[in-house]
Amino acid sequence: MQLLSLQFALCFAALLALYWIAPKKAWQNALLLVGSIGFIGTHSLSAAVCVIVSTFIEWRLALAMGAVTERRPRLMVLWGSILLNVGQLAFFKYSQFFLPELATVLKPAGISLHVMSVLMPVGLSFWTLQKMTLTLDVFYRRKPATQSYWECLLFTAFFPTLLSGPIEFSRKLLPQFQTARTISTGQVAEAVWLLAMGAFHKAVIADNIGASVEVLMAPGHSGFSLLIGIWAYAVQIYADFAGYSYLARGCARLLGLDITQNFLAPYLAPNLSDFWKRWHVSLSGWLNEFIFVPTSLALRNWGTMSIIAAVWVTFLASGLWHGTGMAYVVWGSVHAVGLTIFNLTHGWRKRVKKKYGSAGWLKWSAVAVNFNWVCLGYFFFRAGHVGVAVDQLRSLFGHLDWDPVVENWNVIVPCTAVIFWLQSALAATKNEFWIFQKPIWFRAMAYLVLAFLLMRFYAPADRFIYFQF
């Protein structure tokens, strides 16, 4: 069941009605838990079992962590949690690759290995990281261990965030399950805005421009076609993923819960460091807090090299987390190279800033360079195969001539313009609810336009891109 479907809308409406009729928060939590496990069950029963068992182990580890104060046993529990979770991710994400290879290697030795196909539980990458914060937040003394298993299970299985995040920290979301919830008309209005933006980003922008991307990046096209194609893909993947995050946040807000804003106008970032503060904020916050900062601090005697080493560790981990195969490692490496350059030019950038201040041309040049660097990574991210991406890059730089196949301007230009306009509005106001600062006639017009665009250009929703992770 997808978030953007009639089936989900009907189930969610029924749950919402029961949820707000329920007299106590314990009943509300029970409804959410049943709804969440049922939601996973619509994808696969084995995934539901996996979430239930895996969360039980994590809950016991978090309790064990909370029960001791000495550093050594706490570290042992922490490493137990890390090994279990990384092992779980590696088994489900990589077994389909290494088990057939292993069977081939063992066959000449007379050992017959019966290879079963292992289906990855839905949203595994997302809920595993979210679940790990049950133990990590206790280790870093951000919160005490939660005594209730059912609350921990609800935290892991919470259906709006389960499939593609945002990845929540236990210290932020769990306390919300432990307090009575209320909802105001203002929150309902905000939720409706988030849901409308989510549907618009996914069904109008991402799925329409996605069809053009498929044409533009098909084999045999010129470098010019690939260049426009990868720019369009940047719009598609942003609209797709941000659309999901909007929908998840809108659903949570209707339940009286607040979850992380996952995107802050990322394509207007002037450098990669800033980009990662704006793109997939919940993942970069997780990686920053639990991989980058601990690694760089542990190596801080190395000087600047400590930061560069931590950047590489973080982005290689991010690449492996995203997908299976070398293409995602290369994608992570593209970002690591960019951030290495960013660090090594720290002194030079300080001098440039001192000389030119915040000149507009300098800022927009930096934004353009940064956007194209991100697009370079997208070649590998989209292709999923290093060879395909390298061939595309060869064509891009070898045949950068006009290609009449670029005929979808009527889709690409308005979609791109709308996305950059929305990002500019968000960056200028630093408020995703900027619409509520406008006069009522403007808001009414905005909703009418959104409704019209949804009815007129609604493309049959394909799966969300990040669903595969």
Partner 1 sequence: MTRTELLPKLLELARDVIGDEDLTFDGSTPFETIEEWDSMNHVHMIVRMEKAFGIRFNDAARLQSVVKVQDLLDFIADLKGI
Catalog residues that contact partner 1 under the rule CB under 8 A: 139-142, 273-274, 277, 288-289, 292-294, 296-297, 300, 303, 306-307, 310, 339, 342-343, 346, 349-350, 353-354
Cβ atoms 251, 3 nearer than 8 A:
yes
Q: How far is the CB of 301 from partner 1 (least distance, A)?
A: 9
* Main-chain phi, psi angles of 459, to 5 degrees: -95, 140
Nearer residue to partner 1 within complex by CB, 342 or 380: 342
Nearer residue to partner 1 within complex by CB, 265 or 415: 265
Nearer residue to partner 1 within complex by CB, 71 or 114: 71
Q: How far is the CB of 351 from partner 1 (least distance, A)?
A: 8
Nearer residue to partner 1 within complex by CB, 21 or 297: 297
Q: At what angle do helices 124-139 and 149-157 cross, to 10 degrees?
A: 140
Q: How far is the CB of 250 from partner 1 (least distance, A)?
A: 24
Q: How far is the CB of 298 from partner 1 (least distance, A)?
A: 9
**What is the residue whose two structure tokens read 């609604």?**
458
CB atoms within 10 A of CB 66: 19
Nearer residue to partner 1 within complex by CB, 325 or 332: 332
Q: How far is the CB of 339 from partner 1 (least distance, A)?
A: 8
Q: How far is the CB of 288 from partner 1 (least distance, A)?
A: 5
Q: How far is the CB of 140 from partner 1 (least distance, A)?
A: 5
Tokens of 157: 């299985």
Nearer residue to partner 1 within complex by CB, 297 or 444: 297
Nearer residue to partner 1 within complex by CB, 259 or 287: 287
Burial of 14 (0-12, 13-18, 19+ CB in 10 A): exposed
